[in-house]
Chain A
Amino acid sequence: MSDYIGEVVESGTKGFIARAPRVGEAPPFGSFVRTDAGSPVYGLVYEIITGSREPGRKPDAYDMSMEELRREQPQIFELLKTEFHVLTLGYLDAGKIRFALSPLPPPIHSFVFECTDDEKEALSSEDFFLRAIITSPNVPADDLIISSLLGAQRARKSDKDFMVRMGKSLSRFLKDDYERLASILRRLL
């Protein structure tokens, strides 16, 4: 289990929160990830937070470089945690990815892995993930669209039309908000 990138510490139907094994080492914003236990759940990282492990203790300023801190205040890295929030996109149902909320959320303490290129390709084969982002409250939707599209494009090396297809989908989803659509498309270039 050395290659896991997180462990589920809070689990819900619409998404889950995972703790990174080391401080500051969360998967990047917009990454496609999956859980391992039970029926795997797929999702997108939309928030990464590093802070104190204990609610009553707040990180303080030390006026030191990161290297100095590691040398002279090594305990602080044991007292911090990095957690990332994941928006659920779908789950594995009889060997096939279903673009719907999983009947059961991932079990607490499931490990989280970064999706393989094949999984990323499957998750982005349709525009369902874009719709999931746009219809989710409390996620930075536009930036998540951009990051996830760029990530999917990297995984789909040979798919030249991918961005065009997704752009068309976006223009449908955002047909009532031209300014927003234009902003997303401009930032994708």
Chain B
Amino acid sequence: MIRERKDFACELSDRIRLAKEELRLKSENWEELSRKVEESRTSWLVAGISSPLDIVRPLPERPRNYTALSSDGSQIFPDRHEALPCYLINISSIVLTYGDKAGARLGSGPSLFYRDEDRFTTWGGKRIPADSEVISLKRTLMEFERILELVKGNEAVGNTIALSDGTLILWRLEAAPPDFRNGIMVPFLRILEEFRTLRVPVAGYISHPGSTDVINALRVGLCPEKVSFCNQCPYTELPELPCSPIEGLTDRFLFSTVLDAGEASAVFKSSSKILEMYGEHHIYFFYINIGEEIARVEVPKWVAEDGRLLSLVHTLIFDQARKGKGYPVSIAEAHEQAVVKAKDRDFFFSLIREAMVKSDFAVTVSRKGLSKRVPGV
């Protein structure tokens, strides 16, 4: 096993070397690759290119005073074996202010959903019970609503960053029917628009990213065709496709050889299909070496195109990650404040049962639920 892993690591380093060389070569004529990427049709997500690919952006100076805002959510999903069909979403609020007026506000607030309009959703014209997928998307929306409230409630808006854990690309909505998709997307884009009006950059932070958008762009570059159409690939008879030598690499591997601590990559455009709905908020991304790892940072178009906001995101994310010993402290605290543990879940349902008993309301739980609570011998 160890030998196989070692062989794999050697092979990987050869591929990374090749990818790095490609990055350099394609940067010399990046406009051509950019055009080819635009015109090609592949089955993968390919990074849109609007500058040399091997640009290294040094760490900008951090403003002495700044505020980092974040929110995260956690939920108790409905359990049909429990006494009442309801669910809970707990949303955290983090405001960390640094510098002369340093301070911290950490907290969270739960919301209980039990009414029919909360328990059911419209999906392709049909009324279906809200499942984990629906509740998770609702939770994501609530997190962004909370961050926006925090921005509005915060006095100093200058040098403020709104940070979210994970991607800003709601790709899970791609497969959803338009009625449900719009129910999430319209308010989400409205929130992004408010951030834009307030000039507060919003950024999604992805630790240990598995994305391959830039590698895929280089694979398009390796394709001998003038324009690549993967579904009409003329090289399938060859022992190895021309684009294969760097297949299997992630962008993280590549940029770990390009970026030193604090440095950020060029900004790329995501080609995720759902982003067709985003308009002015189309998501762009870059990679940053935060010292301990390469992270992916996603920002809306209006941040990517504003040099000041982009520099602010770069330096503040690096500072946040340094403070959090490798992971942005505001996002880490947002998680800590929001998390609902198994013990909390049990307590929640037992509170509901108790409240029902106190109100002389018959409590019926399924035999399965009962059997789990009181296992016999």
Q: Do B102 and A71 have beta carbons less than 8 Å apart?
A: yes
A122 at the interface (CB under 8 A from B): no
The closest CB in chain A to the CB of B65 belongs to A71
The residue that A78 contacts in the complex, of B98, B99, B106, B323, with Cβ under 8 A, is: B106
Beyond A75-B329, A75-B333, is A70–B102 a contact (Cβ under 8 Å)?
yes
Beyond A73-B323, A74-B96, A74-B97, is A79–B106 a contact (Cβ under 8 Å)?
yes
Q: What CA separation (Å) do A54 and B332 show in the bound complex?
A: 15
A4 at the interface (CB under 8 A from B): no
Q: Which of B67-117 contact A (CB under 8 A)?
A: 94, 96-100, 102-106
B323 CB contacts on chain A under 8 angstroms = 72-73
Q: What CA separation (Å) do A166 and B325 show in the bound complex?
A: 54
How many A-B pairs fall under 8 Å by CB?
30
Q: Do A72 and B106 have beta carbons less than 8 Å apart?
A: no
Q: Say how far B201's CB is from chain A's closest CB, in angstroms.
A: 21
Q: Do A72 and B98 have beta carbons less than 8 Å apart?
A: yes
A57, A75, A77 — most chain B CB neighbours (10 Å) = A75
B104 CB contacts on chain A under 8 angstroms = 74-75, 77-78
Q: What CA separation (Å) do A75 and B94 show in the bound complex?
A: 9
Q: Do A71 and B96 have beta carbons less than 8 Å apart?
A: no
B97 CB contacts on chain A under 8 angstroms = 74
Q: Which of B188-227 contact A (CB under 8 A)?
A: none
B329 CB contacts on chain A under 8 angstroms = 73, 75
Q: Say how far A71's CB is from chain B's closest CB, in angstroms.
A: 5
A60 CB contacts on chain B under 8 angstroms = 325
Q: Say how far A54's CB is from chain B's closest CB, in angstroms.
A: 8
A72 CB contacts on chain B under 8 angstroms = 98, 102, 323
A78 CB contacts on chain B under 8 angstroms = 104-106
Q: What CA separation (Å) do A81 and B77 show in the bound complex?
A: 32
| Interface residue tally for chain A (C-beta within 8 Å) | 12
The closest CB in chain A to the CB of B100 belongs to A71
Q: What CA separation (Å) do A54 and B335 show in the bound complex?
A: 14
Q: Do B98 and A75 have beta carbons less than 8 Å apart?
A: no
Q: Say how far B99's CB is from chain A's closest CB, in angstroms.
A: 6
A57 CB contacts on chain B under 8 angstroms = 336
Q: What CA separation (Å) do A74 and B67 show in the bound complex?
A: 11
The closest CB in chain B to the CB of A77 belongs to B104
Q: Say how far A27's CB is from chain B's closest CB, in angstroms.
A: 25
B96 CB contacts on chain A under 8 angstroms = 74-75
Q: What CA separation (Å) do A60 and B235 show in the bound complex?
A: 56
Report A40-76 CB contacts with B as 1/0, cut-off 8 Å: 0000000000000010010010000000001111110
Q: Do B106 and A75 have beta carbons less than 8 Å apart?
A: yes
Q: What CA separation (Å) do A74 and B325 show in the bound complex?
A: 15
Q: Say how far B342's CB is from chain A's closest CB, in angstroms.
A: 14
B333 CB contacts on chain A under 8 angstroms = 75
A77 CB contacts on chain B under 8 angstroms = 104
Q: What CA separation (Å) do A71 and B94 show in the bound complex?
A: 16
The closest CB in chain A to the CB of B96 belongs to A75
Q: What CA separation (Å) do A78 and B96 show in the bound complex?
A: 11
Q: Say how far A62's CB is from chain B's closest CB, in angstroms.
A: 9
Q: What CA separation (Å) do A73 and B328 show in the bound complex?
A: 12
Q: What CA separation (Å) do A60 and B104 show in the bound complex?
A: 18
Q: Do B106 and A71 have beta carbons less than 8 Å apart?
A: no
Q: Say how far A66's CB is from chain B's closest CB, in angstroms.
A: 12
Q: What CA separation (Å) do A60 and B323 show in the bound complex?
A: 12
Q: Say how far A70's CB is from chain B's closest CB, in angstroms.
A: 6
Q: What CA separation (Å) do A70 and B329 show in the bound complex?
A: 15
A74 CB contacts on chain B under 8 angstroms = 96-98, 102-104
Q: Say how far A56's CB is from chain B's closest CB, in angstroms.
A: 9
Q: Say how far A93's CB is from chain B's closest CB, in angstroms.
A: 36
Q: What CA separation (Å) do A79 and B94 show in the bound complex?
A: 13
Q: What CA separation (Å) do A174 and B352 show in the bound complex?
A: 57
B100 CB contacts on chain A under 8 angstroms = 71
Q: What CA separation (Å) do A74 and B333 show in the bound complex?
A: 12
Q: What CA separation (Å) do A78 and B98 show in the bound complex?
A: 14
15 contacts between A and B (CB under 8 A): A54-B336, A71-B100, A72-B102, A74-B96, A74-B98, A74-B102, A74-B103, A74-B104, A75-B96, A75-B106, A75-B329, A75-B333, A77-B104, A78-B105, A79-B106
A residues within 8 Å of B by Cβ? Answer: 54, 57, 60, 70-75, 77-79
Apart from A75-B96, A78-B105, list 15 A-B contacts with CB within 8 A: A54-B336, A70-B102, A71-B98, A71-B100, A72-B102, A72-B323, A73-B323, A73-B329, A74-B96, A74-B97, A74-B102, A74-B104, A75-B94, A75-B106, A78-B106
B residues within 8 Å of A by Cβ? Answer: 94, 96-100, 102-106, 323, 325, 329, 333, 336
Closest 8 pairs between A and B when the two form their complex, measured CB to CB: A75-B104, A74-B104, A74-B102, A71-B102, A78-B104, A78-B106, A74-B103, A75-B96
